[in-house]
């Protein structure tokens, strides 16, 4: 059976780009031939790996402008079985795609809410009167272009190439170093790497109790590189905390800290230790050469 990599589809999404980068790396590293497999939502892509339908799932976790991808964190907490095997960071360069001759013709812009947010300033300047319509992926936005010159979409130049759509403007993101971190999640832990992610709820319904876990990490000389709160969904003001630390969970000081954390948290989940994947050429130059399983 050919093992596959789940991601948010359809073809041409940034998630597919990240999945392809992982596939190239896996081939060089272990000789494994993995296939792409697109899903209509991040939740469904994650479930595919949890149920064993795919080997791993590549999902966005955090963008440098728009912040966390809430559904990824919520699903990771809920699914229980998934472990982080790798992280990778892709530069995100948005293009404006449209069949219009001039920008002034465009009245409506479609894209994923994160992409619309990342190009907010550009849209305000270039298309101040345009109606903005969110879509479930940057690629889905392209289905609205058809032959209508009054419509535009924000996606990658790579998607424009795949779907043979005209690019009216390129690198339209407001922040030049816009990038997104992805996680590669599987049912097995990688058990190695200088980053560890975990999450916990607290025994008393007050984030004041958060100080204790942070003090434990500091006392064990562990640097926290990120903290993100998410609602437990039980009641307003009741949170889960997702924390990334710069340390391998197999080190003695980290083991000791995690042991102490158990005593001051309600539920503690360790999502594994992993390393950052080196990305040489994040944007595949020839989209026809990818190893798509044809599921998209």
> How many residues contact a copy of itself, by CB under 8 A?
47
CB of 226 to a copy of itself, least distance (A): 6
Binders of a copy of itself among 136-155, rule CB under 8 A? 136
User: Is 143 or 267 the residue whose CB approaches a copy of itself more closely?
Assistant: 143
Measured in residues, the chain has a length of: 296
CB of 285 to a copy of itself, least distance (A): 24
State the binding string over 219-238 for a copy of itself (x if CB under 8 A, else -): ----xxxxxxxxx-xxxxxx
User: Is 113 or 166 the residue whose CB approaches a copy of itself more closely?
Assistant: 113
Q: By CB under 8 A, is residue 63 in contact with a copy of itself?
A: yes
Q: Which stretch binds a copy of itself (CB under 8 A): 58-66, 151-159, 268-276, 280-288?
A: 58-66
Task: Give the footprint of a copy of itself on this chain (CB under 8 A).
Answer: 41, 43, 62-67, 70-71, 89, 113, 117, 120, 132-136, 175, 177, 179, 181, 206-208, 210-211, 214-215, 218, 223-231, 233-239
């Amino acid at each position: 059976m050919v093992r596959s990599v789940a991601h948010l589809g359809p073809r041409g999404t940034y998630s597919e780009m990240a999945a392809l980068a992982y596939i190239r790396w896996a081939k060089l590293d272990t000789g494994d031939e993995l296939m792409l497999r697109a899903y209509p939502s991040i939740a469904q892509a994650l479930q595919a790996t949890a149920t064993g339908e795919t080997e791993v799932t590549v999902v966005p976790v955090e963008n440098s402008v728009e912040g966390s991808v809430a559904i990824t964190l919520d699903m990771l907490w809920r699914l229980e079985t998934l472990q982080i095997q790798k992280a990778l960071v892709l530069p995100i360069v948005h293009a404006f795609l449209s069949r219009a001759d001039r920008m002034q013709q465009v009245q409506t812009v479609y894209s994923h809410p994160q992409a619309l947010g990342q190009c907010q300033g550009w849209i305000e300047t270039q298309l101040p009167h345009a109606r903005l319509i969110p879509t479930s992926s940057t690629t889905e936005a392209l289905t609205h272009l058809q032959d209508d010159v009054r419509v535009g979409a924000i996606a990658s130049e790579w998607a424009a190439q795949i779907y043979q759509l005209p690019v009216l403007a390129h690198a339209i993101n407001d922040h030049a170093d816009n990038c997104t971190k992805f996680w590669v999640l599987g049912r097995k832990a990688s058990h190695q790497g200088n980053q560890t992610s975990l999450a916990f709820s607290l025994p008393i319904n007050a984030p004041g109790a958060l100080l204790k876990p942070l003090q434990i990490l500091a006392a064990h000389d562990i640097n926290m590189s990120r903290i993100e709160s998410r609602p437990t969904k039980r009641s307003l003001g009741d949170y889960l905390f997702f924390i990334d630390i710069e340390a391998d969970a197999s080190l003695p000081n980290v083991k000791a800290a995690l042991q102490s954390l158990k005593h001051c948290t309600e539920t503690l989940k360790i999502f594994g230790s992993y390393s950052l994947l080196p990305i040489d050429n994040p944007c595949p130059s020839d989209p026809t050469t990818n190893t798509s399983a044809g599921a998209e």
